[in-house]
Structures are given as C-alpha cells and as structure tokens.
Structure 1
C-alpha cells in the first residue's frame, strides 16, 4: 500500500525533474561521433561509428538518484506532509507556511549533506555562482505548494486520464492546464473568441509539458490559437518536446 511518503516522493521527484528537463531540452542535440580506427592491413584509416549514450536515460537515472538523495534528507514531517494534516495541525502550519520564509528554507536546506552539492557540480546543474540552496529553493516551493493545494471540487476532478496528453508519460503526477488561461477570460468573452461554457476546458499535463506550453506562447496566444490539445500538438516545438521528454523515465522508489 502506498504511503503518504511514497506519494510525496513522486511529487518531489516531479518538481525536481522540471528544471533539469528544461535545461537539458534547451541544449543542442549531440551528434554521433566518428572515430578513426587504423588497421594493420589498411592503407587509409577506417571510420567507425560510436553511438552517443542515451541522454534521456542518463538524465532520468540522475533525476532519480538526486531526488532520492535530497528527499531522504528532508525533515520527516515534510516527507510525510499532507494537506489534511497541515490544515488540522497548528505546529505544522508554523513549520511550513506557503510561501516559505527565508528562515524556514534555511532550516530545511542547510542540513543537506555536501554530497548533493558535489553531484550538482559534477553534472554542471548549478548555474555560474549559484548555490545549492538557490537551486533547490524554487523546487522546494513548488513541492510544498503541490502538497498544500486543496483537492479539486468533484466537478473539476480528473476524468479517466492516466497519462500526460502531450508526452504520454503515465508514471508522473499530472497537473491541469487551463486551455483558455484564466487571466484572459474577460478579454476572451469581450472579443468573442470563445463562449463562457468553454472557459473551464482543461488538459491534463505533466509538470514539464505544462511549463513548456506556457513558455512557447503568451496567455492571449494560448486562448486565441492553441486552445485544445490537438491544436497544441500541431506545433512542431510542442510535438518535438513531447517526444523528447517522453523518453525520460525513472524507476519506482
């Protein structure tokens, strides 16, 4: 039976994976290297193809390792936190406000072992002059917000969707994306782009695809041009990102 800690680890790993996936997806694709092999009987060198390692597989393994390393060193109360427990326990509300204060962040991240910084440095994850705490703070904030977000009303509950509607990954937590962003609802109705009954249409996307969609188009563009999953998938950049991120898999805890 899955415990709250198991479920929270999946959420934390998803929050951690997003910035790492974004960074990796923006890097130029590696080209296949060719090595020049000299044979004793050959007059000229012979070219032999050397395949690059599976980048998506390596990334998923590193995300899995790093998530477990960080998560297992978080306070036990944070690893097992649930919205219900937080709502009904004043001491937990004092420990974990949303957003976290600088003092709360320091109390959570400062005790992490130096091996985490070593791993981030070795794999060039940290930006120039960036500290481990600076890298992990937005991830921690996203994780806490996910835990402390009340369950959806029954009318907004997810239908029988088990995988991201862009990358088709079924082993990551899903978030709901407003196909017509709420921030432009008034403008949408005023200009007649959509009717009121269409305003709450949503797509269920993994965190990585959700962030990517908002990165490639403004709220107005999403509302006017890319207001269905089918239309989003007509974009080559969205389709290619979905294909790439769909290869990022990790093992169960």
Structure 2
C-alpha cells in the first residue's frame, strides 16, 4: 500500500505510520481480559421448561472479528490504516516539514498544538468510513458512540500530535552514539528517537543522592517509538534513573524482553 504514496511524501508517510503503529501495537499487545465464568443455577424439575427449549433453538449471536495478532497480518493492518488515513490528510499536512513550518506563519498557526477543534474536525471528516469501521471492529476505538466525530478524536488526535511534532522538529545534531537500529528490538527499518537513560527530570535528585556521576547524565539509547513508549510505561522516571539506566538492564527485565520478542516480528513490506 505504501506504493500509493508519492515519492515526495514518502518520508512523512513513514513518520506517520510509525505514529500509528505505537497505539495499535500497545492496544493489541495487551492481554485480553478474561470474563468471569458464570455459574448456572439449575432448578430440579421433572417437567421440561418451555423457556429452555426456546433458548436452545435460538441461533448464537455472531462473534466480532478477532484483531490481527500474527506479525505479518498486523504489519499489513497497520499499513492499511496508515495509508488510508495519511492519504486523506490535507496536502499541507502530508508534506509538513521543519523548514516549511518555520518559513510559513500560516502553517504554524494551522497546525499549532493542541490542534484547533475546527482543524481536527475537518481532518476527521475526511477519514474514510471503512477505516473507522475497522478501528471499531478491532476495539481500537474505546468510545461506545459509533460516531466518527466522537470516537476518532481520542484515537487520532494523539497520533496527529506525535506526527506534527516529529515532522516539524529540527534534525538532531550529529551524534556518534546514534545507531542504525532500535537498541531494544533491533528493527532497522523504522525511525529511532533518543531515550535519556537517566531522565532529565531526575538529574538534580540523582546527583544529590549519588546514584550516578555528573558525566553519566547525558547517556542516551536510540529506540523506536514503540519501544520508547513501552519503556516509559514500565517504570517512572525515578525508577528508570535508579535501576534501569542502561540498555542491558532494560533488556534484562522480563516484561521488556517479552515485548522485544513480540514487536520485533512486526515488519513493514518493502514498497
């Protein structure tokens, strides 16, 4: 599906797909909730109940489709969602860059975060109905309204915010520490972001309590967006600074190890 994207929009599409994949992977990776077993109270009766006969004859309700969990199917599903939504975006948003945003006060105003309600509404109105149906079928939309104007903002709003932030952020300064692949899942075909192994918000406390030396505070790991978000869901900043301050320590966590094995199988097809 990525072949549908014009060459001059390909880089932005890949950023957008990465932003879409993070919440989809997070939601679908969560273990399904087990419903408590209901105990049936059977009444002893010699005569058969008419109500029981009716229930036995009635047809079972159709089950909703199961979300894709196979790595290849999941990759295709994310590609489908990303392509359908991205191609419905306004051209100015599909081609947004740091240079264009800096040079255009109009673009800065239109796509200032948080997005103005009028801008978000116009974007949502252009999303194909089939995409909304797929999101609803696979329980990616949590609202019970089944109304795109109500259901889509909580899902698409954060994706658009992450996309705009990434697309308009100036290129990072050259760094000898940057890697070609995510340092956790080792996928080398998706963008990476830098994760402060000792979060900046903890630096004063770290130095006061002597957890690390001052020269160690700037260490970073290059992680894909999905792994970066997962790490921050695993522990708070203070715990990360105190106990999980290297890639090796993070890899040693059972939950991170299980996540890395799972997400590492999700691959995009070459266009």
Shorter-chain TM-score: what band?
0.7 to 0.9
Matches within 5 A, 1:133-144: 133-144=153-164
Q: Quick one: which of 5, 11, 14 aligns to 1:7? A: 11
**For the residues of structure 1 that align with 2:202 and 2:189, how far apart are their CA atoms?**
32
Q: Quick one: which of 209, 233, 243 aligns to 2:227? A: 209
TM-score under structure 1 length normalisation: 0.84
**For the residues of structure 1 that align with 2:246 and 2:183, how far apart are their CA atoms?**
11
**Any stretches of 5+ residues in structure 1 without a counterpart?**
30-52
1:72 lines up with 2:90 in the alignment: no
Shift in Å, 1:171? 1.0
Shift in Å, 1:158? 5.9
1:163 lines up with 2:173 in the alignment: no
**For the residues of structure 2 that align with 1:247 and 1:198, how far apart are their CA atoms?**
33
Which secondary structure does the structure 2 equivalent of 1:131 belong to?
helix
- Aligned counterpart, 2:169: 149
Q: How many residues align?
A: 227
TM-score under structure 2 length normalisation: 0.79
Say which is worse superposed, 80-89 or 110-119, in terms of deviation: 110-119
- Counterparts in 2 of 1:246 and 1:5: CA distance versus 1, 3 Å: same
**For the residues of structure 1 that align with 2:172 and 2:244, how far apart are their CA atoms?**
24
Shift in Å, 1:122? 2.5
Shift in Å, 1:225? 0.6
Query: Per-residue displacement from partner, 1:145-191 (whole Å, max 9, x unpaired)?
Result: 1112222233xx36451111111111111010000001111100111
Shift in Å, 1:4? 4.6
1:184 lines up with 2:197 in the alignment: no
Conserved in 1, the CA contact under 8 Å of 2:28 and 2:69?
no
- Counterparts in 2 of 1:54 and 1:215: CA distance versus 1, 3 Å: closer
Q: Quick one: which of 95, 103, 116 aligns to 1:88? A: 103
Query: Per-residue displacement from partner, 1:97-140 (whole Å, max 9, x unpaired)?
Result: 13322222112222222121112122222114261232111111
**For the residues of structure 1 that align with 2:85 and 2:69, how far apart are their CA atoms?**
24
Conserved in 2, the CA contact under 8 Å of 1:11 and 1:143?
yes
Q: Quick one: which of 69, 74, 77 aligns to 1:62? A: 77
**Any stretches of 5+ residues in structure 2 without a counterpart?**
1-5, 34-67, 145-149
Say which is worse superposed, 200-209 or 54-63, in terms of deviation: 54-63
RMSD: 1.9
Shift in Å, 1:201? 0.3
Q: Quick one: which of 5, 16, 22 aligns to 2:26? A: 22
Conserved in 2, the CA contact under 8 Å of 1:110 and 1:133?
no
**For the residues of structure 2 that align with 1:153 and 1:126, how far apart are their CA atoms?**
38
